[in-house]
Structure 1
């Protein structure tokens, strides 16, 4: 054995040329000076501690798992909040839907109970009017129901404070010019739409209202009529939601009866819409104390959720930032000591996507909780309910997804996550190819079969139909519903459906499963033979169970990397690298050309 010392340049050539990769990454003591070896060891310990899970960190440093505790509290609070909000939202949506059905019976001529159930395919055709006389009688029917509101089973009142009948508003949207001379195939047309609105006042007419006579001065050209709306408002109180700590709710319903003639096909579609607006109950109410209790409890829960989410956001953002700083220092360390930077894969290991997901769900829940608090304090519409449910629902979903992170600490559960990670690139490429084939079938099916098949009437329903066929849903109905008006298209539909079903069920789905199974088999093999290790993992090495309780990590519990100082020192000098040690104020200065090397 020959020993080289001092500044001889042959020292580094003779050593690292033999096995540069292994010498540089595994850090044999013979390759570096003793001071540098100490610095590397501290860097290794820091990285080992960084990549530990909360259980290992508790064993190593007795560090309390703050983030885990915050996430545990958060999942309990946000789930409680979601359950309460979901219950209230269901009552709200169900109440408004039932009232819309009631209004349809009271104000919509021709409405019957068979239209209350959503069935596919629908059991009845669209509610429509086909005669001019039906247009006026529909308005008369709505006015009669509005004028005789006291006969309704529901406790409805007029929108005025003194419960006097307010005016109905009739709005007509017509083309500026629209005259058709069908007998000689001629017309006069101006596409500009003119809207005219008028009040139907109860003071000028009696209850036996005749809209045709009332509107005799207003020209209605049904050839030019695009749409008409009849609008009015009602107030009511919902007792169903009342409980020991929740008071009844006061509502105003803005009702609109719509006459849709946009297609000009001789069929004027008729529909009713009721937009709910919650009002602050006032006057002689009995739930004053309980209202305060309910409001206080709901607000306390909302504020607790917001506070815990802000705390979670701060902790996870801080962890992401510290990981970024550690990545920069580790990269500089590798450049200075081993002559090359971290690979992109090693750099990505410092980015914890679980923390990113937690940050996103924190933002969603904070926004949703703020909207929920405003809903419970102020007037609101159903749109705000829907927006709030969107934020809280997505946020809660990501919170529960975050629980998977803690299951990855156990081998039996971690294999699922590792399989998904391993298969993700192959699955993405496979889905891209499958999506192109799917898009081709979707667009062609919509174009060719749309006019003759109920399930292909629109692009969205076409896509939904094909996706259902992939899962084997409602196949026979899809074959049988096709109209036989065109023999050529009838045969095309059979070939089209057989080709799509055979291709996706027997070929594409089987290949998709095989891609995932291949990744699963690879992960199982890794568990047996060992996972492939990158430069960073080789440098970190293995941590024994004895190390957790040996005090190695606790001995440096008050030490820091001195991140900003490291970055400054590393960028200021290329030949003489100065790294702060993990202890504060201690600096190890390394001369890359000095050391004692044994060959």
Structure 2
């Protein structure tokens, strides 16, 4: 029994050392395998292609997506630029049509200084609006609601009561603001001592035909024009300006000769390619993130314990 004990202990030490060596070897292989996976995960597409011959599909997709989205943005920018230009040119047209003696003056520089000029300009605007079809070289038209033309409206804002005597250095004023509106056929008078502003409202319709040259369907425009006579300063100078608010919408009935709808189908196909490429890119990016998270869990479960 005593002679066999050293042999047993020697055998146990040999087995324990073999197990420790096997365990260390196994752990080294696991660490090396994890290191290779981690290194491959952070490789760029070219390095992955050199390492495993894997084609960089995600890189190719990203380049393709950037190209087609850039084309789409440029096309949208050109179309939007035409809309902005058309709106600005129509605003300048309204200035020349309705402002008397308008000669490309700077914004805010058009002003009146006498009562006669104010009345003359208001009646001038009314006259030009009535005879607009015989004056304009554009395709402007009046707005119609339920078969009736929308009238031009002249509105004024004024203090409820105002008695001002600069010579006696006295005044009596009620700052409550009241409003009055007249149609074009009604004579009216203005109390300039109480007057704050005169606003003339009119609505005109037109069609942006320049988009046809760029293979786009023309849009219809409603211009809500407001001509403002500003007397809020009561300085003897009434500023005159033209403002407009535009509504853009698809025309109700249209026909463009020589068009077969091929351009519309191509645009629809191009938009579908953009959507498909973005969706595929989203899937690939999500897959890459999931792989990274799984790699993190592998690291913690196998090496952090």
Q: Same fold (TM over 0.5)?
A: yes
CA distance in 2, matches of 1:318, 1:265: 70
In the alignment, is the contact (CA less than 8 A) between 2:108 and 2:241 conserved in 1?
no
Q: Which residue of 1 aligns with 2:223?
A: 253
Q: CA deviation at 1:190?
A: 4.9
> Secondary structure of 1:89's partner?
helix
What per-residue deviation string (whole Å, max 9, x for no partner) do you get for residues 376-410 of structure 1?
xxxxxxxxxxxxxxxxxxxxxxxxxxxxxxxxxxx
Q: CA deviation at 1:232?
A: 1.0
What per-residue deviation string (whole Å, max 9, x for no partner) do you get for residues 522-558 of structure 1?
xxxxxxxxxxxxxxxxxxxxxxxxxxxxxxxxxxxxx
Q: Which residue of 2 aligns with 1:84?
A: 75
Q: CA deviation at 1:325?
A: 6.0
CA distance in 2, matches of 1:53, 1:287: 51
Q: Which residue of 2 aligns with 1:35?
A: 26
Q: CA deviation at 1:224?
A: 4.4
Structure 1 unmatched ranges of 5 or more? 1-5, 7-29, 116-121, 206-212, 330-562, 571-577, 580-587, 591-599
1:214 to 187, 198, 201: 187
> Secondary structure of 1:58's partner?
helix
CA distance in 1, matches of 2:163, 2:157: 15
1:277 to 219, 229, 247: 247
Q: Which residue of 2 aligns with 1:70?
A: 61
> Secondary structure of 1:276's partner?
strand
In the alignment, is the contact (CA less than 8 A) between 1:235 and 1:253 conserved in 2?
yes
1:236 to 206, 217, 231: 206
1:166 to 147, 150, 155: 150
Q: CA deviation at 1:168?
A: 0.9
Distance change (3 Å), C-alpha of 1:225 and 1:60: farther
Larger RCO of the pair (alpha carbons < 8 Å, separation 6+): 1
CA distance in 1, matches of 2:276, 2:68: 11
Q: Which residue of 2 aligns with 1:147?
A: 130
Q: CA deviation at 1:268?
A: 2.3
What per-residue deviation string (whole Å, max 9, x for no partner) do you get for residues 325-369 of structure 1?
65xx3xxxxxxxxxxxxxxxxxxxxxxxxxxxxxxxxxxxxxxxx
RMSD: 3.5
Task: Confirm whether residue 127 of structure 1 aligns to residue 96 of structure 2.
Answer: no
Q: Which residue of 1 aligns with 2:236?
A: 266
Count of aligned pairs between the two proteins = 284
CA distance in 2, matches of 1:233, 1:258: 15
In the alignment, is the contact (CA less than 8 A) between 1:238 and 1:251 conserved in 2?
yes
TM-score normalised per structure 2: 0.76
What per-residue deviation string (whole Å, max 9, x for no partner) do you get for residues 60-91 of structure 1?
23333232122122122112212322222222
Q: Which residue of 2 aligns with 1:437?
A: none
Distance change (3 Å), C-alpha of 1:589 and 1:266: closer
CA distance in 2, matches of 1:314, 1:176: 67
Q: Which residue of 1 aligns with 2:86?
A: 95
In the alignment, is the contact (CA less than 8 A) between 2:141 and 2:204 conserved in 1?
yes
5 Å-filtered alignment, 1:180-579, equals 180-194=164-178, 196=179, 198-201=181-184, 205=185, 214-216=187-189, 220-243=190-213, 245-283=215-253, 285-287=254-256, 290=259, 292-320=261-289, 322-323=291-292, 326=295, 329=296, 563=297, 566=298, 578-579=301-302
In the alignment, is the contact (CA less than 8 A) between 1:169 and 1:197 conserved in 2?
no
Q: Which residue of 1 aligns with 2:120?
A: 137
Q: CA deviation at 1:95?
A: 2.0
Q: CA deviation at 1:189?
A: 4.4
Determine which structure has the larger strand proportion and give its number: 2
CA distance in 1, matches of 2:272, 2:165: 67
TM-score normalised per structure 1: 0.42
Q: CA deviation at 1:55?
A: 0.8
Larger Rg over CA atoms: 2
Distance change (3 Å), C-alpha of 1:242 and 1:589: closer
Structure 2 unmatched ranges of 5 or more? 1-12, 14-20
CA distance in 2, matches of 1:171, 1:146: 16
In the alignment, is the contact (CA less than 8 A) between 2:158 and 2:196 conserved in 1?
yes
In the alignment, is the contact (CA less than 8 A) between 1:244 and 1:290 conserved in 2?
no
Task: Confirm whether residue 45 of structure 1 aligns to residue 14 of structure 2.
Answer: no
1:157 to 138, 141, 154: 141
